[in-house]
Amino acid sequence: MAKIKPSKGHPYARILGVGGYRPTRVVPNEVILETIDSSDEWIRSRSGIETRHWANDEETVAAMSVEASGKAIANAGITAEQIGAVVVSTVSHFKQTPAVATEIADKLGTAKAAAFDISAGCAGFGYGLTLAKGMVAEGSAEYVLVIGVERLSDLTDLEDRATAFLFGDGAGAVVVGPSAEPAIGPTVWGSEGDKSETIKQTVPWTDYRDGEVAKFPAITQEGQAVFRWAVFEMAKVAKEALDAAGITADELDVFIPHQANERIIDSMVKTLKLPESVTVARDVRTTGNTSAASIPLAMERLLATGEAKSGDTALVIGFGAGLVYAATVVTLP
């Protein structure tokens, strides 16, 4: 019986570079108030959001991804031809097939990289990062491009008082490659499908196609249920990720949670008992909730502003529709 030759992978992987793209149009709360009965003070107090970015016709899912990826590749110090796989997390690419990852891989000039999309909502970046780490370790790709990208303005019901102010557009990308030491910790991830109704698309595409509903499908959620789940259950997951990496809260430099809501972020910081020395990402204030793009966008901003620095130890956690979640500890590029 023949024996399969073992893979020639790398024992460890790390994030080598990060890049982000935010659409040029900045949308303040005043624009949202044109279609819902609310106030700027109410939106800020409930979510922390002051502005968000909305894409124009040219700022497609693919176009934003290419821009963010180009920055990540340059920051990683490699070329596009060295990318062995492209993993794209998105829920707002409206072509069922082919995967938008294939278009992105081609436009970047990769050498026929493996390319595929995943759908894991706001936890999508964490899922992609875990897959990339595995590919580098297994040897199927030396460098993996992980992209989180959304055009959630296309899936926003501007008359829904509970969600109209939440969502924004953008793309964040990282390059994952070999490391001489552990730099991406074990992932704590999972799903709670019994709660899938708390965040969902209003109706299937087929209902709109067949004329059963007149309004284009949008994302809706049960705000209080989501808030309670995120605050109480996700803090436990974040603690599990710290434990899995052998890191204590006192040893942490940076906390980058999914940018869903600043009240959720504040509650998680309190529950985890993070010291004041830990830098906390609050990109939600000016970027809104960009789902799969929120963690890499927040990471990119912290590094660009100097609030975080290369080599810092960061806890990242994403959570959202499904309900799904993923948390891990990483060394920042």
| Catalytic machinery residues | 122, 258, 289
Query: Is it true that the peptide bond before 98 is cis, omega within 30 degrees of 0?
Result: yes
- Cβ within 8 Å of residue 165, ≥6 positions away: 29, 32, 36, 38, 43, 47, 49, 288
| Tokens read off for 73 | 């590749």
Give the number of residues written for the chain: 333
18 DSSP assignment: E
3-state secondary structure of 108: helix
79 phi/psi in degrees, rounded to 5: -110, 160
CB 124 within 8 A of CB 322: no
| Torsion from C-alpha of 307, 309, 312, 317, nearest 10 degrees | 50
Strand runs (DSSP E) across 169-247, as ranges? 169-179, 188-191, 199-201, 219-221
Q: Which candidate, 187, 166, 206, places its Cα nearest to that of 51?
A: 166
Using alpha carbons only, give the angle 321, 324, 325 rounded to the nearest 5 degrees: 125
Do 155 and 92 contact (CB within 8 A), yes or no? yes
